[in-house]
Amino acid sequence: MNVAFITADGMLKHPKFDHILSGCTSLRLLELATRLQTTGVLKGVQVCDIPVAEARAAREMLLIGSSVKVAPIVEWDGKPIGDGKPGPIARALRELLQNDMRSATDRLIDIPY
């Protein structure tokens, strides 16, 4: 399970993979997220160090993983993230990932049974 943040100015920030497992779902979502830049939904995508104060000031917070895909986090230590409701970027990222998973025939491997 990985975490990511949407900053107040619309940047998707994901922690560097120096000390965390680089999950397949996170890696793929970071690739797909660049598509949201062209539509203006996201300002950009960064894999970087994220200070705790910046993370707490995020507009949206997301859990990313194969079991949850993209799950919005609405509260951290009893304080709301953004307006305390799932945000539009979390929904857009989840839709991107779901569509990619359903249509990714170029990455599917035929298994002869």
Instruction: Give me the pLDDT at residue 22, please.
Output: 84
Element (H, E) at 27: helix 24-33
Average pLDDT of the chain, as a whole number: 92
Residues in the chain: 113
Task: Dump pLDDT digits (tens) for 34-44.
Answer: 999 999 999 99
Domains of the chain (ranges, CATH numbers)? 2-79 (3.20.10.10)
The rounded distance, in Å, linking the Cα atoms of 20 and 7 is 21
Task: Dump pLDDT digits (tens) for 81-93.
Answer: 999 999 999 999 9
Task: Dump pLDDT digits (tens) for 59-75.
Answer: 999 999 989 999 999 99
Kindly list the distances between the CA atom of residue 27 and the CA atoms of 16, 17, 24, 34, in Å, as whole numbers in the listed order.
11, 10, 5, 12
Place of tokens 């990985």: 2
